[in-house]
Structure 1
Amino acid sequence: MAVRSLRVASAYRDFCRAVQTTFANDASAQRQLRAETARMLRKHATSMSEDLLVDDLKSGTDMIRYEIVQASLNPETSNYRAHVNQDHLSRGDVLNLLTPEEALRKKS
């Protein structure tokens, strides 16, 4: 079933923009996220209200936009470089980037 709501379409478009920005170098992840989200929207279009669909899309958009930080490997140094963008900084939350060793010590 098709979702026929301008509000849902707008929220989905914003979701797709967040996916495109966050996963700029990973076209496969972009396609998979968009396709799976569209499939779930169609599946739940009749059982969820428009407000719930929009709220779920906005929640997913916020998670992708603000909570996922991509990284790339520098083959020369074998270190990863986190790609923090303005969206991550705009929320005012602290990004705690620990080395694997620091993360293990913190868990203990």
Structure 2
Amino acid sequence: MAIRSLRIASAYRDFCRAVQATFANDASAQRQLRAETARTLRKHAALMSEGDLVKDLKSGTDMIKYEIVQASLNAETSNYRAHVNQDHLSRGDVLDLLTPEEAMKNRGS
């Protein structure tokens, strides 16, 4: 089923832009997220209102844009480098970057 809504198309475009920015170095993840989201939109188009679809897309966009932090491995030091950008900081939430040991210790508390 084709979706013919400018509001949904605009929300989906924003979603794709967030996916592209967040997963800039992972084309496979970009393709998979876009394809699965488009498939799910088509599947639920008859079951949900336009407003609900736009709201869900906006929620997914915000999650990808603000909640996911990519990291890369530094082969020389065997440490990871988190790639925090301005979007992550703009919400004012605290980014708590713990070592695995600190995370396990806090989980037990």
Code of the aligned partner of 1:12: Y
- Please provide the CA RMSD for this pair: 0.3
Aligned counterparts of 1:46 and 1:85: Cα–Cα separation in 2: 37
Post-superposition Cα deviations, 1:31-54, rounded to whole Å, max 9, x if no partner, equal: 000000000000011110000000
Alignment-derived partner of residue 34 in structure 1: 34
| Structure 2 unpaired stretches of 5+ | none
Q: Any idea what the Cα deviations from partners look like across 1:11-38, whole Å, max 9, x if unmatched?
A: 0000000000000000000000000000
The letter for the 1-side match of 2:66 is Y
Aligned sequence identity (%): 84
Relative to the length of structure 2, the TM-score reads 0.99
Partner residue of 2:92? 92
Match for residue 60 of structure 2? Answer: 60
| Unaligned runs of at least 5 residues, structure 1 | none
Question: For 2:22 and 2:87, how far apart are their aligned partners in 1?
Answer: 10
Runs (4+) off by over 6 Å: none
Task: Give the 3-state SS of the residue equivalent to 1:43 in structure 2.
Answer: helix
> If the length of structure 1 is used for normalisation, what is the TM-score?
0.99
C-alpha displacement at 1:5, in angstroms? 0.2
Q: Are 2:44 and 1:19 aligned?
A: no
1:107 and 2:102 are equivalent in the alignment: no
Number of residue pairs the alignment of both structures matches: 108
